Structure 1
């Protein structure tokens, strides 16, 4: 199980009568291998899923979590590791981490709050979990942390007494057109955390043999995008070169909150595309969202380099709009 599924695992174990505690990285220094917000979930019988360091720190955290489940309350743990003994505990070059451990239920995160968090995640709703480090206050909020949501950045606030855990929907990449560029782009995007979907009504292009592990939809692009449901965590990349496939999908994307819209083609092709979008009633502000020709201008040659330029532009648009 991925650490990102810790809330769901915690709820499953709680409902099974095992009890559960969540351990969350709240602060790091040096070269700690897990970022702030990483989670480990521990059951009452000592099972664990996820990671807070990738090393022997997990063993110590499990012991603390079991004590929390038995005794109640919350704990803030700190592990400082020197370069000399860093490798033995999984902190590859030394570092320090602080970890908040809280049980689910009495004295910790209320079960109903966990259920609401899991439901929001399932519904692809961005939500922040605010928790006082002394365990005296907790709440779920959907607004007020715009910068943190955009950067996927959990962290401490209010002079270090409040931790804000950001729970964003998974990033999703919808590629229209199962061409050679798409094959490389889908693989690379999955490697950096995107859930890829390939849309192509041409089954010879959108096939499992060409896109192993990706979700495939052999539907007309506009229908597929409507079924998928585009939100602010979606990137849409159009690669077919065919207006009768690209344009309907582009119209769906422009009417959505997708954070990135890119379309393959030359400058002349793109100019013609913009003209069609204006004729369809989209304003200049709408069509300015289209990245075309798609990708950063890095002098890319060949499908793999073009895919690199597209992915880099997607990440730049997400992190530095």
Structure 2
């Protein structure tokens, strides 16, 4: 790979932006297609498919063979609340190659013992989210039921490009949440980004079932977002 292509690829990786390295297998020629350029590329359809799947592989077009090296940022799932649902969600998310961080200022709950092999931050969300960062490859899940903890996190997510925002709670709980967020200056369209009640409607009852429904909704939103982006 040419040094200039490698440098640009590394820059996109550092900025958490997707890119695809296109290699003409026979000619050995390479070019880098940035995420924002995919739709206007001669191989747009093939590149869009590769980006949606997030997988590298061979394609053929007009008798020529290409290898598409897909570089997509790892998807982050920020979970607000070290609760039972979070304990079930974390290992499931790991199986889906999702990068999970648990945030909860309640030190009795946010412990490594309860969340092995997961990043646990025992701090208030508004104190740590600026450093952790929320971008278009980040999902935020609010699970504490405590407005003092959930609302600052939801506020940060609504001000970001987060592809998924979800909040646990009944419809009445969400109505009160909407009132608080509206009073904070968010519009109806802003607040409509929040999936509440959270998760796909599969009739989930147990923490593990609720975690499953949340992850299913996150994956569905991720695939839809990648279709929209391309």
Tell me whether the two structures share a fold, i.e. TM-score over 0.5. yes
- 1:135 equivalenced with 2:27 (yes/no): yes
Aligned residue for 1:320, secondary structure, equals helix
Q: Which residue of 1 aligns with 2:2?
A: 110
Aligned residue for 2:37, secondary structure, equals coil
1:238–1:262 contact (8 Å) kept in structure 2? yes
Distance in 2 between residues matched to 1:151 and 1:256, nearest whole Å: 24
Structure 1 segments, 4+ long, off by >4 Å, are none
1:192-203 → structure 2 map (5 Å cutoff): 192-203=96-107
In the TM superposition, residue 191 of structure 1 has moved relative to its aligned partner by 1.0
- 1:145 equivalenced with 2:38 (yes/no): yes
Computing the radius of gyration from Cα coordinates, the structure with the larger value is 1
Distance in 2 between residues matched to 1:180 and 1:110, nearest whole Å: 49
Aligned residue for 2:177, secondary structure, equals helix
Q: Which residue of 1 aligns with 2:192?
A: 288
In the TM superposition, residue 153 of structure 1 has moved relative to its aligned partner by 4.2
1:196-241 superposed Cα distances (whole Å, 9 cap, x missing partner)? 1010111111110011111111121122211111111111000010
- Give the alignment partner of residue 126 of structure 1, picking from 10, 15, 18: 18
In the TM superposition, residue 118 of structure 1 has moved relative to its aligned partner by 3.2
Aligned residue for 2:101, secondary structure, equals strand
In the TM superposition, residue 255 of structure 1 has moved relative to its aligned partner by 0.7
Larger RCO, structures 1/2 (Cα 8 Å, 6+ apart): 2
1:183-205 superposed Cα distances (whole Å, 9 cap, x missing partner)? 11111101101011010111111
Q: Which residue of 2 aligns with 1:234?
A: 138
Distance in 1 between residues matched to 2:110 and 2:208, nearest whole Å: 18
1:175–1:239 contact (8 Å) kept in structure 2? yes
Higher helix share: 2
Higher strand share: 1
Pairwise CA RMSD of aligned residues?
1.7
1:157–1:164 contact (8 Å) kept in structure 2? no
1:107-136 superposed Cα distances (whole Å, 9 cap, x missing partner)? xx2134224323432332211111112234
Q: If the length of structure 1 is used for normalisation, what is the TM-score?
A: 0.63
Distance in 1 between residues matched to 2:157 and 2:223, nearest whole Å: 19
In the TM superposition, residue 313 of structure 1 has moved relative to its aligned partner by 0.6
Distance in 2 between residues matched to 1:249 and 1:185, nearest whole Å: 18
Question: What 5-or-longer segments of structure 2 have no aligned partner?
Answer: 40-47, 226-230
In the TM superposition, residue 317 of structure 1 has moved relative to its aligned partner by 0.8
- Give the alignment partner of residue 261 of structure 1, picking from 150, 165, 170: 165
Q: If the length of structure 2 is used for normalisation, what is the TM-score?
A: 0.86
Give the aligned length.
Answer: 213
Distance in 2 between residues matched to 1:207 and 1:198, nearest whole Å: 10
Question: What 5-or-longer segments of structure 1 have no aligned partner?
Answer: 1-108
Q: Which residue of 2 aligns with 1:158?
A: 61
- Give the alignment partner of residue 275 of structure 1, picking from 179, 188, 201: 179
Distance in 2 between residues matched to 1:179 and 1:135, nearest whole Å: 55
